[in-house]
Structure 1
Amino acid sequence: MVLSTGTNKIKTAVFISGTGSNLKSLIKFSKLKKSPISINLIFTNNKLAKGLKYGEIFKIKKKIINYQNKEIAEKKILNELEKNKIELVCLAGFMKILSKKFIKNFKGKILNIHPSLLPKYKGLNTHERAIENKDIYSGCTVHFVNSKLDSGKIILQKKVNILKKDTPNTLGKRILVQEHKLYPKAILKIFSL
């Protein structure tokens, strides 16, 4: 089986901080013929991020960035993005907020996936907040990143019903399944516009 080398695909970097399940689904998606992207770089701020193993499995260059000094960290990331001709950044559970300066200096597109139906529940603990407020559904959102937290233009959303017996954990797991489907769909939507 010959995998497409993705020579004419959009060079993409994925930023993670944890398990990398969205990274894994994006890598699988990038291998499909219909996919407009190739994943060329993985960044993390967490050297223990479980998602780094996908870099090894799929032979993708990975970079661990020390975030003690945000300005230095972001300069390093921007240099790598430029060096590798990255045109798209996908944030996938990246637990650092990119500065306005970074967003302005990166000349491509930056996307994020968020586990709520934005504009509801920006930031953290989205599932707890949805359950506490007795919402009947929650979901996930893929959006463009701008300088305000979780406020960029929405690309796609997917609703997930909240069950009476749901805990933040069970709800989170069901939403994650949808995230894995939504992110590739959102990328297809942007690049078919």
Structure 2
Amino acid sequence: MEKLIGRNLNISVFISGRGSNLLSLIKYSKIKKSKIKINLIITNNKFSKGLEFAKKNKIKNYIINYSKKKEAEHKILEYLRKNKIDLICLAGFMKILSSSFIKKFKNPILNIHPSLLPRYKGLNTHRRAIENKDKFSGATVHFVTPKLDSGKIILQKKVRILKSDTEKTLAKKVLKIEHKLYPSAIEKILKKSSF
């Protein structure tokens, strides 16, 4: 991967839902010390609220029909190449990328997951943490590999689970820390990496 000389890191954010992590990354990209530029937003959901943030901030965005996964991924790879994307950030993207896509992209792909991995891979993380009477939950930013939620951990942050917490209140607490964690994880890999 070429070194970042006098330019920002071009990022594509993949979303499916409300896009709150996308919004926190957009805000982070606008601060002075930030070395990132969000060039492209990909979604599989035309009703994703995150598209409003894309339009508001004049960021190129594409809605991808995932009914034929192979074709969808081929199209996404084309968009990534055209827009010279250095890094993908998955932010509540509800589709699993194929190992072929991950290999073809070649650059890092990050994901943010609402649990303290390796605990609770997959879905319903808050419910599982509460049912198991865990004292802590949290969020993890990790590299994406073909194995679900199993890539190398970049950064984690904990939140305490109170006895009064429900799935909803815990989700709210975890989301709040996600918004700070994702930009911090990007900063961390920028310091270590030879982008």
Structure 1-normalised TM-score? 0.96
Tell whether the 8 Å contact from 1:131 to 1:167 is kept in structure 2 after alignment.
Answer: yes
2:80 is matched with which residue? 81
Q: SS where residue 40 of structure 1 aligns? A: strand
Instruction: Report the alpha carbon displacement of residue 63 of structure 1 after superposing the two structures with TM.
Output: 0.3
Aligned ranges 1:124-163 → 2 under 5 Å: 124-163=123-162
CA RMSD of aligned residues (A): 0.7
* 2: CA distance, partners of 1:183 / 1:35: 13
1:99 is matched with which residue? 98
* 1: CA distance, partners of 2:39 / 2:185: 19
2:121 is matched with which residue? 122
| CA displacement 1:129-153 (0-9 Å, x = unmatched) | 0000000000000000001000000
Give the aligned residue type for 1:40: N
* 2: CA distance, partners of 1:138 / 1:38: 31
Tell whether the 8 Å contact from 1:87 to 1:107 is kept in structure 2 after alignment.
Answer: no
Q: Does residue 188 of the first structure (1) align with residue 187 of the second (2)? A: yes
Give the aligned residue type for 1:74: E
| CA displacement 1:50-74 (0-9 Å, x = unmatched) | 1100011100001000000000000
* 1: CA distance, partners of 2:185 / 2:71: 31
* 2: CA distance, partners of 1:137 / 1:184: 22
Structure 2-normalised TM-score? 0.95
* 2: CA distance, partners of 1:33 / 1:91: 24
Q: SS where residue 72 of structure 2 aligns? A: helix
Percent identical residues: 68
Q: Does residue 48 of the first structure (1) align with residue 47 of the second (2)? A: yes
* 2: CA distance, partners of 1:98 / 1:89: 12
1:4 is matched with which residue? none
Instruction: Report the alpha carbon displacement of residue 185 of structure 1 after superposing the two structures with TM.
Output: 0.3
Q: How many residues align?
A: 187
* 2: CA distance, partners of 1:89 / 1:133: 33
Give the aligned residue type for 2:83: N
Aligned ranges 1:36-75 → 2 under 5 Å: 36-75=35-74
Instruction: Report the alpha carbon displacement of residue 36 of structure 1 after superposing the two structures with TM.
Output: 1.6
Instruction: Report the alpha carbon displacement of residue 35 of structure 1 after superposing the two structures with TM.
Output: 1.3
Instruction: Report the alpha carbon displacement of residue 32 of structure 1 after superposing the two structures with TM.
Output: 1.3
* 1: CA distance, partners of 2:153 / 2:66: 28
* 2: CA distance, partners of 1:152 / 1:36: 24
